[in-house]
Structure formats: C-alpha cells, structure tokens
Amino acid sequence: MLLNSDRLTYYFTTLCEIDSPSRGESKLSCYLQDLFHDLGADIVFEDNSSLVTGSDCGNFVARFSGSRNDVDPVFFNCHLDVIKPCLGVKVRKINDIFYSSGDTVLGADDKAGIAILIEVIIAIVLANIPFVPVEFVFTTCEEIGLLGAKAFDPSLLVAKYGYSLDSTGIDNVIVGAPASYGISAEIHGLASHAGLRPQHGINAIQLAAHAVSRLPLGQIDSETTANIGLIAGGTATNIIPDYVRVAGEVRSHNLSKLFSTIDLFKNTFQDVVSSWRDPHNLITSRPSLVFAFPEQYPLMKLEAASLPVVRAQQAASCLSRSVRFIQAGGGSDANFFNACGLPTAILGIGMENVHSVSENIKLADMLRTAELVYSLLTC
C-alpha cells in the first residue's frame, strides 16, 4: 500500500485553506472537479441542487469505473462546507497534528475525509492497482441542515451502497444514528404597558417558561434526547411580551419514543396555554399556541448483513485489524442516503473538537482511515 503522508499533508492543508462556508462552496468544488478530471475520472458532474439549497454550486459526483467486476460498485461521501468561523483558515502542523491558527475552525470536518479520498485514489492510480468501481459524492450545505444530501437524487449513482467519511474517532463504523425532529412552539399573548397597565397583558414569555420548566430535557433514556436551545420574544423591558418562540429538537433511535416525546412537548405547551386564567377578570382575549415539529433528518439503522457492514468487515480483515460497529448521537448525510434506499455507514476519520477553534486531527489517524478506504476499494 503506497500511501504518502507528505502528499496527504499537502492536499489536506490546501483544502483547509480554500474558503468553503455553507452556500459558498463553489471555489472548493471547482478545485476538486478539476483535480478528479486530472486523475482520470470517467465522469465528473454537478447536479442542480443549488436551486433548492441556495448554494453557489450543486452537489457533484466523480466516477471512476475501476477494473474489478467481482465486487459491487461503492460510493464515498464527504461534505464541502465548513462551519463558521471558517474564512481565512491557516493550518498549523505541530508534531504531526493539524490545528488552525486559533481564530477559525480547522475544517477537518469534513476536509480530512476529502483529503483521504484524494490520497487513496492517487495511490491506486499511480500504482496501477485494480480497484472496484467507485463514485465520490460531495454535498453542499451539510452544516446548515444536511440540505445538499436532502436535495440529492440517488438515481444519479451507479453504486447502491456507500460510506460517509464524517465522524470522530478511529476504526469506528457507525451503523445507527437517530432521527431528529425540530420543535417550534409560538405563544401569542397580549401586550400592555408593564408599569401602567400590567393587569391588562398576557405574558407570553412567562407562559413559555412554565411549559419549558415541565419538559424532560437532556438524556431522556438510552435512545432519546431532547433539548430547548432558543427562546426569542418581547420588544422592550416596559412592555409585557405578546409573543415568544421556543425552539429545540428531539432525537431518538426509536421512532415510537421520538413521537411520544414530541406529543408530550406539544401537550405540555398546550396545557399551559389552555389553562391560563385572568386573575383580574379584565381581559376578554386568550393566549394561543402554534406548535410545529419539522423533520430534520430520518432514522439510520443498518443491519449486520448489509453491504456496508459486510464489506467493512472484509476490508478490516484484509488489514489484520478490527473495527467497531457503533451507534452515534448525531445526524449526517448518511441518514438521507439510507432513507433513499442506499445503505450507507459512517466512518470515523479521527477529527477532534469539531465545531470549535480547537479542532484538530492527527496525520496518523488520517492515514489509518485511508488504509481502510484503500482496502475497501482493493480487497
């Protein structure tokens, strides 16, 4: 296996220092499309998902036909966008660990995954090693709601299973991830002057506080979490607020538990609003509630006999190593690929402290993941 750590370092550093915020991924996309053309991709094409996502480019696919017909075609997925602050990244390498300069994220999430794919395909092409047909799928707007994957047409792919390189840890193959639904509770009260006519107002924020205090939050059970993360309302300190919006989410590996928790949230807010009584008998109107729970991403659950699991086991065995098959608490593009009938596992690539300016990744961990991807393509 002729992987080259210096070459991997070069491409990872180059990718990190190309700005690619969500909805601004075109510069990175153009760089990668040109690169894969030069590396001999049979076809590189971009979809029209930008019409849906609002990005300045679409998702794109690079297809290599390979020379092996004894193994099913496979795809690998990474996202192009990076969470803020991500403009003007400068990479520092200290003792073979990559960091940013400290005022931006590094962008290992998910440019480490992209660099790994580049290194693997270069190593295979240069050594003229037979490999299975493969497609690289690069999505936009992952960090702002998995929008690129949500807008991707799975019929564009030849491969029927794949892997997303987008998680922490190493030698981890994620086979389960929760479904997630947003929570939005809008309470409409009645405005009034807080000093002159307080008895004529209905305080929407107070009602929301009563409801939130009754909600189960955090780790509800081994499969389910819930959170309230945003509260916004009111116009001034001397005005009783007539509006507040409370936003959060519920995640679960068990759909029954997920929907029962959502029902509990809805009923709690409705009970607080419906049970409001005017202590002064001065107000003829009543507070109201608008409750919504949009899907953020669907459930992901792979069976032991699925192709991503079986092939990961085979690839690890060829390397004389073992991998861990685990469940994760977050969502990724893989949730949508699975929902579209494309069994997809998530590979840990070693990035640490993601979504912070302390983000870092070890070169050794990137190489270890590259070895697994190499084995998946050649074993």
Please list, residue by residue across 277-312, b when 16 or more beta carbons sit within 10 angstroms of its beta carbon and e when fewer do. eeeeeebeeebebebebeebbbbbebeeebbbbebb
Instruction: Write out the two tokens for 152.
Output: 């991707």
- Return d(Cα 147, Cα 333) in angstroms, integer: 9
Q: Write the DSSP assignment of 84-95 as a string of letters.
A: SS-TT--EEEET
Catalytic residue among 25, 47, 81, 135: 81
Residue type for position 176: G
Q: Please answer whether residues 345 and 177 qualify as being in contact, where contact means their C-beta atoms are separated by less than 8 angstroms.
A: no
Q: Please answer whether residues 133 and 158 qualify as being in contact, where contact means their C-beta atoms are separated by less than 8 angstroms.
A: yes
Residue type for position 149: A
Catalytic residue among 47, 110, 135, 142: 142
Annotated active-site residue 153? The verdict is no
Annotated active-site residue 142? The verdict is yes
Q: Write the DSSP assignment of 330-376 as a string of letters.
A: S--HHHHHHHTT--EEEEEE-BBSTTSTT-EEEHHHHHHHHHHHHHH
SS3 assignment, position 127: helix
Between strands 74-79 and 134-139, the pairing is: parallel
- Nearest Cα residue to 163 out of 367, 374, 3: 374
Helices 5-16 and 108-127 pack at an angle, to 10 degrees, of: 140
Q: Please answer whether residues 49 and 152 qualify as being in contact, where contact means their C-beta atoms are separated by less than 8 angstroms.
A: yes
- Return d(Cα 89, Cα 17) in angstroms, integer: 5
Active site residues: 81, 142
